[in-house]
Amino acid sequence: MYGLFCALVMGSLLGLFYLFQGWLINQLWPGETFRVVFNAVLILIVGIVIFVTKEKIGDMPKKLSEIKLELYQTGTANFRYLPLQLLIPPIILCSGTSLGPEATLVSSTVLFGVWISEKQRYLSANWRDNRPLDRLKIMVTPHRYLKSRSQDERQLPWWTPKMISYLGIGIGAFYLTCKWGGEQSVIVYLGSSNWKLIDLLWLVPIAVVAFLVGQICLRAMILIQKGVLERFITVRSSIIFGGVMIYLATLFVPNINFSGMVNFELLASTWQSKSAIFLIVNAFLKLVLLTICLNTGWLGGEIFPVLFSATIQGIVFSRLLPQVDPIFFIGVFAITEGAVILESPWIAGGVMSVMFLPPNLLPVSISLTAILIGLRKIHLKRIHQKSMQQELNTVDEG
pLDDT tens digit string along 86-108?
999 999 999 988 888 988 998 99
**Domain segments of the chain as ranges:** 2-180, 197-385
What percent of the chain stands above pLDDT 90? 51
| Of the candidate ranges 37-46, 84-93, 119-128, 345-354, the one whose mean pLDDT is the lowest | 119-128
What value does the mean pLDDT take over residues 120-133? 83
Q: Read off φ and ψ for residue 301, nearest 5 degrees.
A: -90, 150
Model pLDDT, residue 3: 87
Q: How many residues does the chain have?
A: 398
pLDDT tens digit string along 173-188?
998 998 898 887 777 8
Other beta carbons within 10 Å of 100: 25
pLDDT tens digit string along 297-348?
898 889 999 999 999 999 999 999 999 999 999 999 999 999 999 999 999 9
Contact in structure between 202 and 324 (CB atoms under 8 Å)? yes
Complete DSSP assignment for 106-117: HHHHHHHHHHHH
Model pLDDT, residue 100: 87
Per-residue pLDDT band at 384 (split at 50, 70, 90):
confident
What value does the mean pLDDT take over residues 189-214? 93
User: 301: helix, coil or strand?
Assistant: strand
Contact in structure between 267 and 60 (CB atoms under 8 Å)? no
Q: Which of 143-152, 208-217, 255-264 is most confident?
A: 208-217
Model pLDDT, residue 33: 65
Is 70 exceeded by the pLDDT of residue 156? no
pTM of the full predicted structure? Answer: 0.86
Q: For the chain, give the mean pLDDT.
A: 88
Model pLDDT, residue 397: 61
Bridge partner residues of 301 (DSSP): 100
What value does the mean pLDDT take over residues 6-24? 92
CA–CA gap between residue 371 and residue 349 (Å, rounded): 11
User: 100: helix, coil or strand?
Assistant: strand
